[in-house]
Amino acid sequence: MRRGRGPTARRRRAGAASALCVALLSATPLTAAVPAAADTPAPSSSATPSASAELPPMGQTFPDVRESGCRKPSTRTADRAPWAQVYLRPEAAWPLGRGAGVTVAVLGSGVDASAGTGTGALAGRLKLGPRVQGQGDSGQDCVGHGTFLATLLAGRRPSDGGPAGLAPEATVLAVRVTDDAGTTTADLVAQGIRAAADGGARVAVIGSPAPAPSQALAEAVEYAAAKGVLLVGPTGPDGQSAKGAVYPTGYPGVLAVASIGPSGAPSGASVSGDAVSGGAATAGVRVDLAAPGEGLQAAGPGGGHFTASGPSGAAALVAGAAALLLSREPGWTPAQVVERLKSTAYRPGSALPDPAVGWGTVDVVAAATAQPPVTGAPRATADPVTVPPPPDRTAVTRASALAGASAGLVVVVTLAAAALRAGRRRSRTAP
């Protein structure tokens, strides 16, 4: 008897295969790779922003600056990847591009100049643009928020496995559009957009949006589009209840980004058409994409890590994803980058665009690894229906002929056997 063929051997092989599957599943962070319900990935409990509670908070504004001075450096650092980094898995896309050769402008409170020197998170990759209000350049960040966004999207990858930017080889162009407390106006943001476009930026993230529109701002958006700059903005202010659109995100042509939390749900309360805390969604406000925005971790002015929440951080992460795509495909237009980010996003399981998350949550790996699009045309609202090719009629005809021949052979054999049995009976009954 041949060994290894019986039921006992089959059970042993099945048991070994099951044990191997269990071992692989135990060693694999499924929550970082397998989407949860509605095609949205949910990080594991170990990836939640619990460690962020130990870091000092960072805000979009710093109202106490005149009384207490500029924000002090953090004395704490994070030594592990935060949940947003685990969720987005940019390291899986880095072999295809890390943002090298792409300049991303950060329009906000400035970027601390020390971040671009020595062992800073942006060492060798920080360009100080103009300060559109007051004297000097954008190398002083009294609020710290601009530095946080800049390192969130392009901070170098530390050796201890701490927070890293999505595009760790991109160049950051700092453009300060706020006062020392972090407040700004539409006209100041307009000047900053023009400075970013003239400074060679391919992508610009609006870290400090204006609460109201202006003619100058609308014209600046058109100016940036004409120069091939992709503008990315938050759908609302950080840490406040959204009451309407912020600008320039409210204008067509600006990629509007909302915030989600570790569960994959939009930040704040459940969406019911009313304003949602944190700018996740507001009635009448356009949302194009969503990205992690709660419990984010990144470097601040003077060193050390901070934690912050809000859609401005989500917008910075989407800007980093755009930089990754442009480092892989430097000839792409802003429309092609936007189309790729939308078409590869985790779908919300509802009609698109969804009022809370737009086309879905950005998927960095899928965006970087998908095949280049044929054109830069926007994706249709409904996913295309794939029609299978017609069956091979030749194969069908041959199979039918073979089946007919086999059936005929069976009939012939059956008749022959019947005739043989009848002959035998006649021979036995013959005298």
Whether pLDDT at 240 is above 90: no
- Please, which pLDDT band fits residue 423 given cuts at 50, 70 and 90? low
Domain extent listing, the chain: 38-369, 388-431
Query: Which range is least confidently modeled, 22-31, 124-133, 218-227, 401-410?
Result: 22-31
- Which helix (H) or strand (E) segment holds residue 327: the answer is helix 311-328
pLDDT of residue 214: 97
Query: Which range is least confidently modeled, 128-132, 144-148, 296-300, 409-413?
Result: 409-413
Whether pLDDT at 100 is above 50: yes
Which of residues 236 and 35 earns the better pLDDT score? Answer: 236
**Peptide bond before residue 248 is cis, with ω within 30 degrees of 0:** yes
Average pLDDT across the chain, whole number:
79
d(CA 134, CA 250): 27
pLDDT of residue 78: 92
Helices 215-226, 186-198: axis angle to 10 degrees equals: 20
Sign of CA dihedral 246, 247, 252, 255: negative
pLDDT of residue 430: 52
Q: What percentage of residues in the chain have a pLDDT greater than 70?
A: 69
- Please, which pLDDT band fits residue 301 given cuts at 50, 70 and 90? very high
pLDDT of residue 176: 97
DSSP string for residues in 224-271: HHHTTPEEEEESS-TTSB--S--BTTTSTTEEEEEEE-TTSSBSSSPP
Query: How confident is the model over 102-124, as pLDDT tens digits?
Result: 999 999 999 999 999 999 999 99
- Please, which pLDDT band fits residue 36 given cuts at 50, 70 and 90? very low
DSSP symbol at 174: E
How far are the Cα atoms of 80, 163, 174, 203 from residue 160, in angstroms, in the given order? 7, 9, 27, 29
Other residues' Cβ atoms within 10 Å of the Cβ of residue 256: 28
pLDDT of residue 32: 33
**Peptide bond before residue 353 is cis, with ω within 30 degrees of 0:** yes
Whether pLDDT at 31 is above 70: no
Q: Which CATH topology does 38-369 take?
A: Rossmann fold (3.40.50)
Beta bridge partner(s), residue 258: 290
- Please, which pLDDT band fits residue 242 given cuts at 50, 70 and 90? low
pLDDT of residue 40: 46
Whether pLDDT at 338 is above 80: yes
pLDDT of residue 133: 83
H-assigned helices in 132-254: 145-154, 186-198, 215-226
d(CA 132, CA 175): 8
Query: Which range is least confidently modeled, 54-68, 170-184, 357-371, 401-415?
Result: 401-415
Whether pLDDT at 203 is above 80: yes
Beta bridge partner(s), residue 296: 308
Look at residues 306, 300, 377 and name the one whose alpha carbon lies nearest to residue 338: 377
d(CA 254, CA 222): 10
Query: How confident is the model over 134-188, as pLDDT tens digits?
Result: 788 899 999 999 999 999 999 998 887 889 999 999 999 999 999 999 999 999 9
